[in-house]
Amino acid sequence: MKEQWAKEVVQVRIARPTNQLTAIERFYCEGIGLEKIGSFKAHRGYDGIMIGLPYAHYHLEFTEHMDGSPCPAPTKDNLLVLYMPNLEAIQRIVQRLEQMGYPEVAPENLYWAEKGVTIEDPDGWRIVLMNTMGI
């Protein structure tokens, strides 16, 4: 049974700290090809960026505190999965990230290797570019 409150949710944001905000922005915007859809500076000691798809109601937020915000990846199986049916687009992204110094890595769960490519972002968090339609 669906909860009634779920109909009231208008946006989803996944947020995490980093101490490499510039590198994170470059990885996700220049490398992956997502868009910077917002940002802020010196807000209660934090700088931040929101990155996502301009037509979607969900996005990623990365924040950096002026005193530092290290955020080591918890495990190799904590993943952000982007389902992309266009294999050529995946190959272009993988090539661009390789040139930027972010090579493909072996996934913890071999399922992701069947139709996906796994790459670590500057903080070691893993992204899977999955060549399927998703659910």
For 27-68, the pLDDT digits (tens) are: 999 999 999 999 999 999 999 999 999 889 999 999 999 999
109-128, pLDDT tens digit by residue? Answer: 999 999 999 999 999 999 99
Would you state the pLDDT for residue 8?
A: 85
CATH topology of domain 11-65: 2,3-Dihydroxybiphenyl 1,2-Dioxygenase; domain 1 (3.10.180)
Tell me, yes or no, if the two domains 11-65 and 79-130 fold the same way. yes
Rounded Cα distance, 102 and 94, in Å: 8
Of the candidates 74, 73, 84, the one whose C-alpha atom is nearest the C-alpha of residue 122 is: 73
* Domain parsing of the chain, residue ranges: 11-65, 79-130
Rounded Cα distance, 13 and 36, in Å: 14
Q: Does residue 63 contact residue 14 with C-beta atoms inside 8 Å?
A: no
- Looking at domain 79-130, which CATH architecture does it have? Roll (3.10)
Look at residue 4 and tell me whether its pLDDT is greater than 90: no
Local structure of 34: helix, strand or coil: coil
